Structure 1
Amino acid sequence: MRLLVDSGSTKADWVAIDDAGKVLFTTQTLGLNPEVLEKEVIVERLNDRFDILQNKDTATHLFFYGAGCGTDKMKKTLTGIFKEYFSNASIVVEEDTYAAVYATTPKDEKAIVCILGTGSNCSYFDGTTLHQKVQSLGYIVMDDCSGNVFGKELIRKYYFNKMPKELAVEFEKEYNLEPDFIKAKLYKEANPNAYLATFAKFLIQNKEHPFCQKIIFKGMKSFVKNYVKQYDNCKEVPVHFVGSIAFYLKEELQQTFDKYELQLGNVLRRPIDGLIAFHGQNK
C-alpha cells in the first residue's frame, strides 16, 4: 500500500493506493508543515485519523509533498518523524511544488509552476528537474499573494480604519476580531499562517468590491514581479497554478497575466488527483 500526501499549512490530503493504482481510502489531516510544527503536534495529527493510524504498519511507501519542505533540514526532520511512525515504509519527502508539477504539467513539458494557497511558491520545471530562484523565507517576510498575506492585509486595514464601513460591518460579523483572540492565534497557537489565511475567504466573497479588488491585484502584481519574472523565459512557457487562492481568483489571475503578456496554464484547486494518476503510472 502506497500513501500519497499533498500537504499545505492548513490541511493535508491523503490517498492510499494499491500496486494497481486503485484507491483504497482517502482522508484529510490538518497541515503538516515542519517549519511551524513540533514533532509531537505532527504525530498527534497523524493519530487523529483512524485510517492512517490503522494502516501505519502496513504501508510500504509514503510519498509526501509538503509546504515547508523546501530545505534539506526540513526534509530530514520530517523524514525522521515518518520513518519512526510508518516503520515498514520507504519514505520520500519533497516540497509541495513537486506535487503541483506532477498534477499540472504534461510529461516532458517545460513550465513555470506556482502555488497560491495558504502560502505561495514558484518554480521552473525543465521537463525533468525543478529549478527555484527564490528560496522561501516563510509567511512573515514572503508568501506574496497568498492566503495568509491577504488575511494579514485585511486585518491591518480593519485595525487602521482603512476598510470601508460597509465591509467592516460584515467583517465583524464573520470573524472574532477581539485583540486578545487575534494575538493568541498569532503568537501562542500552532499554524499562525493558516489562521491568517482563513480571512482570505472574506476577500474572495467580496472580490467585486473595489477595496478588495485593489488588494487582490496588488498581490498578484507583486507575485508576478517577484516570482514569475525571475525566469527569463516566463513569456515562452505556460504558467500553471495549484491552490485555493489561484482557483477562486482565476479570472483576476487571467487579467493580471494578460497585462504582463504571460500564458496562464492549468489552474487546479488541489493536486491530489494528479498525484494518483502519476503514481499509478510510476511504480
Structure 2
Amino acid sequence: MILVADSGSTKTSWCLINEKAGLSFFNTEGYNPYFVNSSYIAQSLSLGLPSVIPPLQISHIYFYGAGCFEDKTHIIKDALQKVFPTATLAVGLDLLGSARAVLHDQPGFAAILGTGTNSCLYDGSAITANIDSLGYLLGDEGSGFYIGRQLLGDYIREYMPAAVRADFFAAYGLKREQIMDRVYSEKLPNRYCAGFVQFISVSTADKEYTNQLVKNAFIDFFETLVTKYPNYRQYSFNCTGSVGYAFKDILSAVATLYGMKPGGIIRTPIEGLARYHSLQG
C-alpha cells in the first residue's frame, strides 16, 4: 500500500493507494516543518489517522509539503518513520506535488495559492526554476494570509466600506485589541489571517471592495513573482490551492491581463498526485 500526502500550513490531504481496494482519501492538520517539530507531527498523526490505515502495511510514502526544503525534510521523515516504521519515504516540496498534479509529465508553469504562496517552472519531472516566496513575514503575495492581513488592516483602520465593516463585526465581534493580541502574541498568525478569506468569499455587502482586495493581491503576486520568470508568457497559468480556486475567475482575469492563458486551477492536488503515483507504479 502507498500513501501520498499534500501538506499545507493548515491541512494535509492524504490518499491511500491500495491495489485491491482502490483509492481512499482523508485529511489531517497541516505539517509545515518551519512551524512544528517531529514529535508534534508524530503525535498528531497517531491521533488523526483513520482506523482503516494499517501503518505496518504501508510500503511507500510520498509526502509533499509546505516548507519541505532539503534542510527540513528530516523533521517530516523522523515523524513519518515513527508512525510508519517499515515504509520507504520520499519527502519533497508541496510545489513539486502541485506541478505533478496539474502537469503530470508535461513541462510548464505551476503555482500554489493557499494559506501561503509558491510558484515554479517544471520540466515534466522536476522543478527547474523557483523564485522564493519568502514566507508570510517577508512575502507570500496573493496568499490567504496576504489577503486576510489586508482585510484585518482595513478593518482596524476603518478603511473598509461601512457595510462590510458592519458585516465583519456581526460575523466575528472582534475589536482591535483582540486581533492585535492574536496576531502578535499567539502561534500560527498566518493561519489566523488566512481564515478570514472565507468572509471575503461569502460577504455580499460590497463585492466591488472585496473583489478589488483579492484582485490587488493577485496583481502583487504576478508583479513580484510570476513576471520575474523568463518568458513566462509562453506558459499557461496552472495553480492549486484553496484561495486560487475560490477566486479562480478573478485569478484567470489577472493571468490574462499579464498575457498568460489560464490553465488548470484546482483546489487540491491530492487527486492528481494519486493518479500520478498510481501511473508511476
| Band of TM-score, shorter chain | over 0.9
In structure 2, the partner of 1:12 is 12
Q: How does 1:146-185 map to 2 (within 5 A)?
A: 146-179=143-176, 181-185=178-182
Indicate the SS of the match to 2:238: strand
Cα offset, 1:219, TM superposition: 0.9
Distance of 1:133 and 1:100 partners within structure 2: 13
The answer as to 2:177 corresponding to 1:217 is no
Match of 2:250 in 1: 252
Residue 71 of structure 2 is aligned to residue 78 of structure 1: no
Task: State the Cα deviation string for residues 121-161 of structure 1 (Å, max 9, x = none).
Answer: 00001223202331232111111110011111111111111
Matched-pair contact (CA < 8 Å) for 1:21–1:279:
no
1:179-212 CA-to-partner distances (Å, cap 9, x unmatched) read 4543454345443211211101112224762221
CA distance in 2, matches of 1:20, 1:229: 46
Q: In the alignment, is residue 35 of structure 1 matched against residue 34 of structure 2?
A: yes
> Does residue 125 of the first structure (1) align with residue 97 of the second (2)?
no
**What is the correspondence of 1:85-164 to structure 2 with a 5 Å cutoff?**
85-107=83-105, 109-164=106-161
**What amino acid is aligned across from residue 211 of structure 2 in structure 1?**
Q
Structure-1 separation of matches of 2:273 and 2:78: 23
Report the Cα distance in structure 1 between the residues aligned to 2:153 and 2:260, rounded to whole angstroms.
Answer: 31
Residue identity in the other structure for 2:183: L
1:36 is displaced (CA, Å) by 1.1
Contact kept? 2:100, 2:124, Cα under 8 Å:
no
Shift of 1:65: 0.7
State the SS of the aligned residue for 2:25: strand
Query: Following the alignment from structure 2 to structure 1, what is the Cα–Cα distance between the partners of residues 176 and 154?
Result: 14
Q: Which runs of 5+ in 1 are unaligned?
A: none
Amino acid in the other structure paired with 2:222:
V
Find the aligned partners of 1:124 and 1:59 in 2 and give their Cα distance: 32
Deviates more, 1:146-155 or 1:77-86: 77-86
8 Å Cα contact 2:104/2:276 also seen in 1: no
Question: CA separation of 1:87/1:183 partners in 2, compared to 1, >3 Å: closer, same or farther?
Answer: farther
| CA RMSD, Structure 1 to Structure 2 (Å) | 2.0
Q: Residues 92 and 9 of structure 1: is their aligned pair in 2 closer, same or farther, counting only changes over 3 Å?
A: same
Match of 1:272 in 2: 270
2:203 is equivalent to residue 194 of structure 1: no
- Percent identity, aligned pairs only, is 27
Distance 1:80 1:132 in 2: 28
Q: SS in structure 1 opposite 2:133? A: coil
Separation of aligned partners in 1, 2:78 and 2:275 = 27
Displacement, 1:175? 2.0
Contact 2:41 2:76 in 1 (8 A): no
Which stretch of structure 1 is more off in the superposition, 49-58 or 143-152?
Answer: 49-58
> TM-score, normalised to structure 1's length?
0.92
What is the DSSP-based 3-state SS (H/G/I as helix, E as strand, rest coil) of the residue aligned with 1:12? strand
Q: Alignment partner of 1:136: what SS?
A: coil
- For structure 2, list consecutive stretches of 5 or more residues without a partner in the other structure: none
TM-score after normalising by structure 2: 0.92
Rounded Cα–Cα distance in structure 1 between residues aligned with 2:252 and 2:43 = 40
* Segment drifting more, 148-157 vs 39-48: 39-48
Judged with a 3 Å threshold, the aligned counterparts in structure 2 of structure 1 residues 187 and 21 are, in CA distance, closer, same or farther, namely: farther
Give 3-state SS (helix, strand or coil) of 1:5's partner. strand
Please tell me whether the aligned partners of residues 46 and 53 of structure 1 are also in contact (alpha carbons under 8 angstroms). Answer: no
Structure 2 equivalent of residue 55 of structure 1: 54
Letter in 1 for 2:154: K
C-alpha distance in 1, partners of 2:74/2:47? Answer: 23
State the secondary structure of the residue aligned to 1:152: helix
